[in-house]
A and B are shown apart, each in its own frame.
Chain A
């Protein structure tokens, strides 16, 4: 069964606007971690932000914030003030306490328009 679901294959946003990339997950563990990675066209995978299941506050890192809704099992990435350099694939991932590995979603391709 798919553990991480990203329902938006592609998204467009105007430069300087905010955008939300959706991620829902499925787990029966109480302890888990949620991660977002960015993959620009150059191909590398860049870690952006982390949210722990027990964290009461939403994670923030600069222009990135994670809208964590535990009851809905969603961990959406919000990018504020989009820049052209934000155009990339974005992957949501989850690590469960009872698993050694990290599971990735299918990704969302974000395009920032000038």
Chain B
């Protein structure tokens, strides 16, 4: 069974559309994350949720809205997509929230978003 799964794996859409990416983890972890990896492979955190509560909200446009219906799921909804949103989006999970430096994050397979 896949530990952290994301759907879809590929997403191609037109500018201005609204799209969602879903993430689920079956590791029993309390914390989930969204990262964006740009074309130069730079990985940057966007959001983090602990037990359905937002604990990290980096400077991202408010067109991006995470939703956590339960601690096993963290979805990412993007409104009014722009060309610059094209990237690979990774979901990750870890056992605990911050304050524990040993807390390893486990990543999903990524979703490649292409905005035309």
Interface residues of A (CB under 8 A from B): 31-33, 35, 37, 39, 43-47, 50, 52-53, 89, 91, 95-97, 99-102, 104, 106-107
- Cα A99 to Cα B43 in complex, Å, equals 17
- Cα A100 to Cα B53 in complex, Å, equals 13
Evaluate whether A47 and B105 lie within 8 angstroms (CB atoms) in the complex, with A91-B43, A100-B48, A104-B43 already known.
yes
| B55 sits at the interface (CB 8 A) | yes
Binds A, one of B18-26, B61-69, B107-115: B107-115
Q: Is the CB of A106 within 8 A of B102?
A: no
Q: How far does the Cβ of A29 sit from chain B's closest Cβ, in whole Å?
A: 8
Identify B88's interface contact among A43, A47, A53, CB under 8 A.
A43
Evaluate whether A101 and B106 lie within 8 angstroms (CB atoms) in the complex, with A52-B101, A106-B41 already known.
no
Q: Is the CB of A45 within 8 A of B107?
A: yes
Interface residues of B (CB under 8 A from A): 33, 40-45, 48, 55-56, 58, 88, 90, 92, 97-110, 112
Instruction: Name the B residues within 8 Å of A107 (CB-CB).
Output: 41-43
- Cα A100 to Cα B92 in complex, Å, equals 13
Instruction: Name the A residues within 8 Å of B101 (CB-CB).
Output: 31-33, 52-53, 95-97
Q: Is the CB of B45 within 8 A of A102?
A: yes
Q: Can you give 29 contacting A-B residue pairs, CB < 8 Å?
A: A31-B101, A33-B102, A33-B103, A35-B104, A39-B41, A43-B88, A43-B112, A44-B108, A45-B43, A47-B105, A52-B101, A53-B101, A95-B98, A95-B101, A95-B103, A97-B99, A97-B100, A99-B98, A100-B48, A100-B55, A100-B56, A100-B97, A101-B33, A101-B98, A102-B45, A104-B43, A104-B44, A106-B40, A107-B42
